[in-house]
Structure 1
Amino acid sequence: MVTQPELMPLAPAPSLPSPGIMGRALGVFFFLIALTIFGIGILNAANAAGLVGTHGTLAVKDCWVQRGTRHSRGHTVCEGIFRSDDRKVVDDRAGISAAVPPGSKVSVQRAGDWYVRTGFGEVARWIAMFFLGGLVLAFGMAFAATGMFPRDAAQVGMISREVSESRVGTVRRWIVRGSLAGVVICILLRSLTGS
């Protein structure tokens, strides 16, 4: 005798969450992250361009790989002696996040307690980070506009589609297009300089 397999009920189709304060708070959270990314990108780009900070040279002594999280390999940190161009500032514990051979001299800008490599390629790199902030901003706009807090990835897509035909959706599209174009242009410029 052949037995019939038991039929499984279909999972209910995902539905949009109700608007509330949590959705708006999520939108504000993404806005604050975007502002932070904008600030870091512009500040470091200004330093790399030599517009702010103290310019000088870092004589590299040691380099090592600083361990990352389980999702990243980490990054190379080099430490050495910083001397400002006017010889007024000397820091024997200066460090940068870069892979350069020990014994080399690197043009850097001192920005408070940290150092940033200078040059056109570095400026392009930091401006690309600024544009990445635009993508974060665009992602959070749907939650801020609708007040909907997603419970899973399917709801994220549904909320995005919900605002796609509104003014918010139009603004989001322009922000995403502009941000992606900015990132691509910055990457191309950086690759052309060989940085």
Structure 2
Amino acid sequence: MRQPELRPLAQPELPQPGILGRALGALFFVVALGISGFGLYNAAHAAGVAGTHGTLAVEQCWVKHGSHGSRGTKVCGGTFRSDDGKTVDDEASVRSEVKPGSRVSVQRAGDGYVRVGFGETARWVALFFLGWLVVAFGMSFAATGMFPRSGMQVALITRAVSGTRVGTVRKWIVRGGLAGAGVCLLLTLLAWLLS
């Protein structure tokens, strides 16, 4: 019996470098700055380094629904009193699941409130490290200028920088981001288990 002739599969081609690829890389950088900045901002408040410290006397809890299809976020509200007694907010709320009638240590962060504690701080620092992973993902596009049109092209562009200086830096950013986020999430879990 004669075997059919095998032909190699068509290999997807790398896209041509251009401004769109660099813009995509820059977009990932801006998003990463936003994620990391938001994480550090809230981590500073959760650690008590920034903001006004006080206690939130929880009166009621509810579920705040976001966009369609989202589960919603548990929010508890009540009266905030700063430690120095200068600030009282009867409409304070914090994204957290606590029992009505309890008192929660919080830090005022702009218009909102953040729970204070080691576990909360570690959780927000994990978000900072997530920003590192976003930067690492966009580095290949910024360095090559290639704009991917498919998932296969994303993999090819990433492979194209793997042996270069950009690839080495990218690898260390990914390792640092994964290690940092992993340690922070582990510390968050330990703090939750010990509380």
TM-score, structure 1 length as denominator? 0.91
> Are 2:84 and 1:86 equivalent residues in the alignment?
yes
Per-residue CA shift, 1:68-122, capped at 9, x if unaligned? 3345312111111110011100011111111111111110000111100000001
Which residue of structure 2 aligns with residue 158 of structure 1? 156
The residue type equivalent to 1:51 in the other structure is: V
The whole-number CA distance in structure 1 between the counterparts of 2:112 and 2:53 is 12
The whole-number CA distance in structure 1 between the counterparts of 2:72 and 2:19 is 37
> Are 2:151 and 1:187 equivalent residues in the alignment?
no
Of residues 34, 37, 41 in structure 1, which corresponds to 2:35? 37
The residue type equivalent to 2:27 in the other structure is: F
Of residues 93, 96, 120 in structure 2, which corresponds to 1:95? 93
Which residue of structure 2 aligns with residue 66 of structure 1? 64
Which residue of structure 2 aligns with residue 133 of structure 1? 131
**Aligned to 1:151, what secondary structure does the other structure show?**
coil
**Aligned to 2:91, what secondary structure does the other structure show?**
strand
Change (3 A) 1:155 1:70: farther
The residue type equivalent to 2:168 in the other structure is: T
Instruction: Give ranges in structure 2 of 5+ residues lacking alignment.
Output: 1-6
**Aligned to 2:138, what secondary structure does the other structure show?**
helix
Which residue of structure 1 aligns with residue 105 of structure 2? 107
Of residues 44, 52, 55 in structure 2, which corresponds to 1:54? 52
Change (3 A) 1:71 1:130: farther
Bigger CA drift: 181-190 or 63-72?
63-72
Aligned-pair RMSD on alpha carbons? 1.6
The residue type equivalent to 2:58 in the other structure is: V
The whole-number CA distance in structure 1 between the counterparts of 2:39 and 2:61 is 24
The residue type equivalent to 2:97 in the other structure is: A
**Identity over the aligned pairs, expressed in percent?**
64
Which residue of structure 2 aligns with residue 22 of structure 1? 20
Change (3 A) 1:47 1:71: same
The residue type equivalent to 2:84 in the other structure is: D
TM-score, structure 2 length as denominator? 0.91
How far does residue 148 in structure 1 lie from its aligned partner after superposition? Answer: 0.4
- Between the two proteins, the alignment pairs up a number of residues equal to 187
**Aligned to 1:158, what secondary structure does the other structure show?**
helix
The whole-number CA distance in structure 1 between the counterparts of 2:68 and 2:109 is 30
How far does residue 150 in structure 1 lie from its aligned partner after superposition? Answer: 0.5
